[in-house]
Amino acid sequence: MARLQEHGLRRSVGVAGLFSTAYGNVGSSIYYALGLVALHALGLTPLVFMVAGLLFALTAKTYAEGAAMFPEAGGASSFARHAFNELASFFAGWALSLDYILTIAISAFFVPHYLGAFFPALTHNPGDIIGGIITVAVLAGLNIRGLGESTKVNIFLALADLATQVLLVVIGATLVLDPALLISQVHLGTQPSWSQTIFALSTAMLAYTGIETVSNMAEEARDPGRDVPRAVNLVLVAVLGVYAGISVVALSALPVVHDAAGHASTALGTKFENDPVLGIVSSLGIHGGLLTVLKSYVGVLAATILLIATNAGLIGISRLSWSLAEHRQLPEVFSRLHPRYRTPSFTILLFSLVAAILIIPGQTDFLGNLYSFGAMLSFTTAHVAVIALRLKEPELERPYRAPWNVRIRGRPIPLTAVIGAAGTFAAWVSVMVLKPETRTVGVGWMVVGMLGYVVYRRRSGLDLTSQHRVGRPTRLAEFRELAYSTALVPIFGSDVDGAAIRAAAKLVGDGATVDAVYVIRVPSQLSLDAGLEAEEAMARNVLESARVAAHRLGLKVRTSVIRTRNPGAALVEEAVNRHSDVIYLGTLHAPPSERALGPTAGYLLAKRPCRVVVETDARQGGPVEDPAGVGV
């Protein structure tokens, strides 16, 4: 008798992992946002960051509620789909795609500037432009080959980054902090002018890029309703504290000065605009070997964090484009996988090319302004969507609710979302009014996208607002000649006759390996390591039946048991780790919630690490296949 192999608990990411991932994305922005904001805000830079931080806090609460309700990729686009329709969803998603592209471009462009601590030629044109484009190209190639994100590396680097930033604040407060100097630099209404102050506020939102990762993290959270809000609150405290401290130290080390004509400026926004943190280090009054060591350390750490942020942007745009294509909002080519590496190569290449083109002018202030344009649109949509869902679907399960609620028409409406929507919309208007070049490019991007959406939907015979997913019925016999060599067979419930294994055998060749994985879904009210003796006994019986059925069919079988709160996410990870050619999901013996196209089937169809075949009860329809050929 074959030995039954049981894997340990399928534990999802906890609060510490969520915090580290989010901070790694949001905290990286300080390495470029500080100089861009100081260019306009001058002595008001610390206050501007605090006001923008409050707006970020309101937005984070909205994303925490939305992501807890809908733990799926897409962020504002997903919220708008559930609250309104596909047209609103695409509008938010297209604005968000601009942000991801700009995150790639900005982060990549600043990588060579911080490596300039070792190679000075990288700090100016053309070295910085060439270095930024090479960064994008290398990461695009690695992502096509399947580079992902290492959680352990991200946690280590995020904590090292946070510790370094706190250390700089402590050292700066000790060596250069001068409260009287800070106050004397403020000339509200003149230096900076009111228009500069307003624009700096919208630009400062660039400092808080990465909030969209909350929606992606929720898919992997152990308990989205509890852990995601806790992680968001920790990120808020850390980010706001770091920006307050570093901006105060920066204006003490690099104060506002006036030239002969009376023009005010700070080296933070001029000389060190493209490497502001290195500028702070250089101005702390440290000399000799210690300064060299500190600059080298900050340069390496900043470049590494920015590389991770660039890679996160590539992964984010891939996930978003996949989601939009899955819902028939973008052509199917955006969800097509590379035949060898099984990655969305077309999407990665296309948007990497756009990011590289945006790097060529070398205008970081333009990139920052354009990011604010897209971010404010998607943030405003997210706020409005959460408010609309409170009105339209008050009974919808909300593991987390944004605070400060008032009753309107008998429904609790979160003031955080109301104030947040007003603030982000006002910031978007200020960008539109004050920066004509940003208005031209941003509006042009949205118009091209919306026109493309209309043309694509009309040519596909679809209306503009209804939901449509990729998929069509097909006969199981059509798969028999595919002869996959490895198959993952998730098993739920009481399949003691081995039906799922026998059906999956029709998809694989002789001598193929089948991974039979029994899934125990643990309710949210129970601990993941709760007893569940009856479920464990059922798992052993069913897997023994699967082993016998596979032996009779001449197949190699590996059996395992997983516990999880999110079966779809656990099975996707299993398929990736085992390099499965196909996932066969038979729902005949599954619990009622998993029959037809239940939540697990929906998740697998959305993520598709390989081809996916879903077989339902004959009375509910046959197997489903993706017509694009990427998997069903």
Per residue in 79-97, pLDDT tens? 999 999 999 999 999 998 9
Is the alpha carbon torsion for 393, 594, 463, 373 positive or negative? Answer: positive
| Helix (H), strand (E) at residue 417 | helix 415-434
Query: What amino acid is encoded at 90 in this protein?
Result: F
Strands 611-615 and 257-258: unpaired
Is the alpha carbon torsion for 226, 231, 234, 235 positive or negative? Answer: negative
Q: For tokens 């510790």, name the residue.
A: 163
Query: Where exactly does CATH 3.40.50.620 map onto the chain?
Result: 472-625
- Quote the distance between the C-alpha of residue 423 and its chain's center: 23
| Domain spanning 15-102+135-454, CATH class | mainly alpha
- Quote the distance between the C-alpha of residue 366 and its chain's center: 23
User: CATH homologous superfamily for 472-625?
Assistant: HUPs (3.40.50.620)
- CA-based end-to-end distance of the chain: 34
Query: Where exactly does CATH 1.20.1740.10 map onto the chain?
Result: 15-102+135-454
List C-alpha distances in Å: 339 to 27, 330, 342, 471.
Answer: 36, 20, 6, 20
Find the angle CA(219)-CA(225)-CA(227) to the nearest 5 degrees: 75
Q: For tokens 């971010």, name the residue.
A: 375
Compute the distance between CA of residue 60 and CA of residue 499 in angstroms, rounded to an integer.
46
Q: Output the pLDDT for position 315.
A: 79
- Which residues lie below 8 Å from residue 242, measured CB to CB, with a gap of 6+? 27, 30, 162, 165, 166, 169
Find the angle CA(268)-CA(270)-CA(272) to the nearest 5 degrees: 50
477-480: list long-range contacts, CB under 8 Å, 24+ apart.
477/506, 478/625, 479/506, 479/507, 479/613, 479/623, 479/625, 480/506, 480/507
CB 334 within 8 A of CB 115: no
Compute the distance between CA of residue 233 and CA of residue 217 in angstroms, rounded to an integer.
14
Query: What amino acid is encoded at 3 in this protein?
Result: R
Compute the distance between CA of residue 471 and CA of residue 450 in angstroms, rounded to an integer.
24
pLDDT < 70 stretches in the chain: 1-14, 17, 21, 24, 73, 146-154, 209-211, 213-225, 342, 470-483, 495-498, 509-511, 524-525, 588-597, 616-632
Write the DSSP symbol of residue 530.
-
CB atoms under 10 Å from CB of 555, counted, come to 23
Q: Output the pLDDT for position 393.
A: 87
Compute the distance between CA of residue 423 and CA of residue 503 in angstroms, rounded to an integer.
55
The neighbouring-strand residues paired with 564 are: 521
CB atoms under 10 Å from CB of 292, counted, come to 12
Strands 556-564 and 508-521: parallel
Q: Output the pLDDT for position 1.
A: 29
> Which has the closest alpha carbon to 301: 130, 485, 160, 190?
160
What 3-state class would DSSP assign to 480?
Answer: coil
Find the angle CA(595)-CA(601)-CA(603) to the nearest 5 degrees: 145
CB atoms under 10 Å from CB of 184, counted, come to 12
- Quote the distance between the C-alpha of residue 233 and its chain's center: 17
Q: Report pTM.
A: 0.70
Q: Output the pLDDT for position 132.
A: 93
What 3-state class would DSSP assign to 395?
Answer: coil
**What are 596-605's pLDDT values in tens digits?**
567 788 788 7
CB 410 within 8 A of CB 395: no
Q: Output the pLDDT for position 560.
A: 85
Compute the distance between CA of residue 160 and CA of residue 379 in angstroms, rounded to an integer.
29
CB 596 within 8 A of CB 620: yes
CB atoms under 10 Å from CB of 331, counted, come to 16
Half-sphere exposure of 609 (CA within 13 A, CB side): 20
Strands (E), 527-623: 556-564, 582-586, 611-615
| Helix (H), strand (E) at residue 512 | strand 508-521
| Helix (H), strand (E) at residue 316 | helix 288-326
Q: Output the pLDDT for position 610.
A: 82
Compute the distance between CA of residue 65 and CA of residue 243 in angstroms, rounded to an integer.
25
**What are 215-270's pLDDT values in tens digits?**
655 655 666 667 777 877 788 888 888 888 998 999 999 998 888 777 888 988 88
CB atoms under 10 Å from CB of 528, counted, come to 16
CB 421 within 8 A of CB 380: yes
What 3-state class would DSSP assign to 563?
Answer: strand
For 364-401, letters b (16+ CB in 10 Å) and e give: bbbbbbbbbbbbbbbbbbbbbbbbbbbeeeeeeebbbb
